[in-house]
Amino acid sequence: VFKNLMVNRHLFKMLAIFFLNLFMNIVNGIILYFFIYNMGNENLMSIYGLMGTFAALGFFLIPNLTKKFRKKDLLAAIIVLDIIVRIVFYFTGYQNVTMLLVMLMLTQLFHASLGPVMSSMIAETIEYSEVKTGRRCEAITFSGQTFMGKLSAAVAGSLTGLILIAIGYVPEAAVQSEQTLNGLFMVVSLLPVAGGLIRLAILRYYTYTEEAYKNDLAVLAARRNPA
């Protein structure tokens, strides 16, 4: 286990990128407060949930896109699009409910689309590890992804409470202060931009592309079927 983890630097980078779902987890933890206090309509939460379900349809677009583009480039493009939409979202505000829902739907779609790309890139690091160590470590790789997912959710839960305190949220108050309302909107619209920028910074140094993966497949094939 330790040998695999020590040599597989590409896995560490991808798990770090996966962990940064943290920012979207915070949004999902705080958006109900936004609907209640900023929009005055907690029923929008059910619509938001349905949008998340429909956004999962983005999964079906990914296989075709990965045939045309490198996964690293595709992942970066989705992140950049999400950042752009969020900046537009922030400057357009939330007075127009229709525009708000469109923006939220787009962010949900981009978030859902990231999942299969990241999982595929994490899976490819298995071959890199096998070339370096001589052992296949699927269980270690995917358990690492599961652990990062749970850790991200746990940290997001803690940070959500701290953020509410920082923006001056008053529990069970009928009306929140202007500072709190602005804080809620900034979290929902802009906070994941920070996660996106960190992801792009990590991806800049991620070198395990399709070409390297195919080379490792060739190495493993040669080991199994020596001439």
Helical (H) or strand (E) element with 193: helix 191-204
Query: pTM for this one?
Result: 0.90
* Structure confidence at residue 1 as a pLDDT band (50, 70, 90): low
CA-based R_g, the chain, Å:
20
Task: Tell me the domains of the chain and their CATH numbers.
Answer: 2-224 (1.20.1250.20)
Give the model's pLDDT for residue 227: 61
Q: Report residue 137: phi and psi, to 5°.
A: -130, 55
Name the DSSP class of 168: T
Give the model's pLDDT for residue 181: 96
71 or 59, higher pLDDT:
71
Least confident of 27-36, 72-81, 129-138: 129-138
